[in-house]
Structure 1
């Protein structure tokens, strides 16, 4: 009998151990649960061993033991932490992030292949503009739901970003909003269409337009999971919210975008 491999156990809990030594089995299961919690925290974005330990009530040394196991199984990778001030003594701090394989295990994308194939067919038969129209129509339902959730958020872009983060989290995006010196930042730690969006950036573009309309000001995408970043990050500058008359217009409907246009040329 074989025990299925799962990310929460990362190959530590072996059948032989379970039947051979109860104490060792209990310790291994406990380790697996802790690693599962570490992986869930890293789902929110990069973190150092010290930050993970503080959230789990464990020492950095104890956390590193679990991180080493996740590294060995190619479930996490390291990145150097960027420091804005002078660097202190010792080695530069390392942040840990989930690999693409680990994100797939935590949030499986069962229909990515057929979705990508469908968009390829649309692009081949109707052109790239048809993919843009499809992306706009698909994201419209999300916009409508989030718009209803933002009705009491007021007009301040940062306040609206915080309300939008809650709405997106309810939609499965694991979003958060923070205030920074230049404005605000909306982070999405999970993207349901990341694998498809890597091939069809129109999906990301449509989502960015929706974020801009919902917040009521121009925004700038700084990073996306689809392009290999750990988090989708959108910058919200310090600007007054748009009035209803000057907000960015909704994307034209799909049938309007797919209609034939005539271009006049001077003779």
Structure 2
């Protein structure tokens, strides 16, 4: 638990965080929250809007973030500037040994065909399945809470998982959740072998006990993987 304490007179004032460290925090927020505005990042990091924009401009020059114009509600007003990470940033955050993994799977596909690749893809998400099963063991949770557990498990497993709620205040049959993944530790593999995305979606449906639908994936050029979970179905 955090608690404040007075700083003795002889204590030196803490040094400001290096610009590089703050910039990485900004990048991480764009990764996990995107599309996100500069104002939202500023509130999260307790930075001024001008300071956030300086970091975002630098990240944009490095081709790590890009601007996405989002229309205002009901089309009123000018579109707002939101930031998302680029494919270049995803590659930088990915595995440095990706080419070795791709070569190995290429060879596996030659020897065993699609069946072997699919079995490998299922195994890639075994850790997510184990974590989820441990989190819900012995507890009968409703779909909405199981979806929240899945998002937390994905986040802990390195997928930058977050959850978005849709249809608040509407009838239960119209409400839905979206499980978002801002990062893929397998970055590069699903683009070459879609079996990875297919097996991941099949796992989500099995864990949640409901049909899910993929709205976007990093492998097909999206800035985030988005899985639609209809809460009104069982």
Structure-2 separation of matches of 1:69 and 1:32: 10
Root mean square deviation, CA, Å: 2.1
Where structure 1 has 5 or more consecutive residues not aligned to the other structure, the ranges are 1-25, 242-267
Q: Return the match for 2:113 from 127, 131, 135.
A: 127
1:154 matched to 2:140? The reply is yes
Given the alignment of the two structures, is residue 52 of structure 1 paired with residue 45 of structure 2, yes or no?
no
Report the equivalent of 1:61. 50
How far, CA to CA, are the matches of 2:139 and 2:60 in structure 1?
A: 42
Q: Per-residue deviation at 1:141? A: 4.4
The answer on whether the counterparts of 1:156 and 1:240 sit within 8 Å (CA) in structure 2 is no
Aligned equivalents of 2:154, 2:62: Cα separation in 1? 31
Q: 1:188 to 1:153 in 2, by over 3 A?
A: farther
* Structure 2 SS opposite 1:43: helix
Residue of structure 1 in register with 2:25 after alignment: 37
Structure 1 or 2: more helix by fraction? 2
Which has the greater radius of gyration? 1
User: Does the CA contact (< 8 Å) of 1:157 and 1:236 recur in 2?
Assistant: no
Task: Give the structure 1 partner of residue 5 of structure 2.
Answer: none
The structure, 1 or 2, with the larger RCO (C-alpha pairs under 8 Å, 6+ apart) is 2
- Alpha-carbon separation, structure 1, partners of 2:112 and 2:81: 47
* TM-aligned CA distance change 1:130 to 1:49, over 3 Å: same
SS of residue paired to 2:66: strand
CA contact (8 A) 1:42 1:97 kept: yes
Aligned length: 212
1:204 aligns with 2:193: no
In the alignment, structure 1 residue 233 sits paired with structure 2 residue 226: yes
Q: How big is the shift at 1:42?
A: 1.0
Aligned counterpart, 2:101: 115
CA distance in 2, matches of 1:35, 1:132: 38
TM-score (norm 2): 0.81
Matched, 1:192 2:158: no
Distance 1:69 1:58 in 2: 16
Q: 5+ residue gaps in structure 2?
A: 1-14, 168-174
Cα separation, partners in 2 of 1:158 and 1:125, compared to 1, 3 Å = same
Q: Which runs of 4+ in 1 moved over 4 A?
A: none
Q: For residues 131-174 of structure 1, what are the alpha-carbon distances to aligned partners after superposition, in whole Å with 9 as ceiling and x for unaligned?
A: 12321233334323322212255342111010111222221112
Q: Contact 1:157 / 1:239 at 8 angstroms: preserved in 2?
A: no
Q: Tell me which moved more, 32-41 or 203-212.
A: 32-41
State the alpha-carbon separation in 2 of the partners of residues 141 and 31 from structure 1: 35
**Residues 226-252 of structure 1: CA deviation (Å, up to 9, x unaligned):** 2221211110012344xxxxxxxxxxx
